[in-house]
Amino acid sequence: MTSRVELRWPADADRRLQADVHRVLHAVVERGGAIGYLAPPTRAETDAWLDEILTLVRAGDASLVLAVAEGRVVATGLWRRGPKPVFGHSAEVQKVMAHPAARGLGLGRTVTEALVDDARKAGIETLTLGVRGNNHGAIELYERLGFREWGRLPNFIAVGDERYDDVRMSLDLGRAPNVVLRGSPADGPGSSPRRG
């Protein structure tokens, strides 16, 4: 695959787009990709997922990017806003993946950079993501893009009888000048003093 890749940001899906997204998700999971499915998803499952995401896109609570080459979707990724009102300024990056036939073309980087830029334009202050601990290539990519590990749940992700770390990462995108950063001191609304 050597053709030019273009990025598309859909808000609706027709049958062809549904089929293309299904083809990518199914192939990635079939090859062992860590994107939240234990077995390759059915077309009904991926259609339902896409419908849910595009509903959030139309509401301004998510953004889905598709990398397209030769008229077909070859990579995907999205950011999804946290629950409002308390976490609406943050979003989680999800489902960054490339079809196995398109790996090695830098699509993960292209998609993630586009998501970071789009989230910043949408006023998102912090992006988070989770990655399976054995996915060292993805962890390195995210680190090169400025994400930093903030936590790790050891052996938290179950794949059959095997357990993997859930590596949690974040990227600070900046804040409006009027935002007050309180951190963890016992002051402000909802605070309480230590008891001991």
Is residue 179 a part of any domain in this protein?
A: no
Domain count for the chain: 1
Indicate the Cα dihedral angle 179, 185, 191, 196, nearest 10°: 170
* 145-157: average pLDDT: 97
31 assigned to some structural domain: yes
Residue range 158-185: mean pLDDT, rounded:
92
Q: For residue 71, what are the domain limits? A: 5-172
Let me know if residue 10 belongs to a domain: yes
CA 51 from centroid of its chain's CA atoms: 16
Phi, psi angles (nearest 5°) of residue 106: 80, 20
What are the contacts of 153-158 at 24+ separation with CB within 8 A?
Answer: 157/34, 157/132, 157/133
Average model confidence (pLDDT) across the chain? 93
pLDDT at 109 over 60: yes
pLDDT band at 106 (very low <50, low <70, confident <90, very high): very high
pLDDT tens-place string over residues 3-40: 689 999 999 999 999 999 999 999 999 998 888 898 99
pTM for the model stands at: 0.92
Residue 110 lies in a domain: yes
In a domain, 96, yes or no: yes
Tell me which residue of 88, 92, 130, 94 sits closest to 111, measured CA to CA: 94
pLDDT tops 90 at residue 184: no
- Domain assignment present for residue 134? The answer is yes
Instruction: Give the three-state DSSP class for 141.
Output: helix
> What is the three-class DSSP state of 20?
helix
Establish if 183 belongs to a structural domain.
Answer: no
| CATH code of 41's domain | 3.40.630.30
- What is the structure's pLDDT at 187? 77
Domain-embedded: residue 194: no
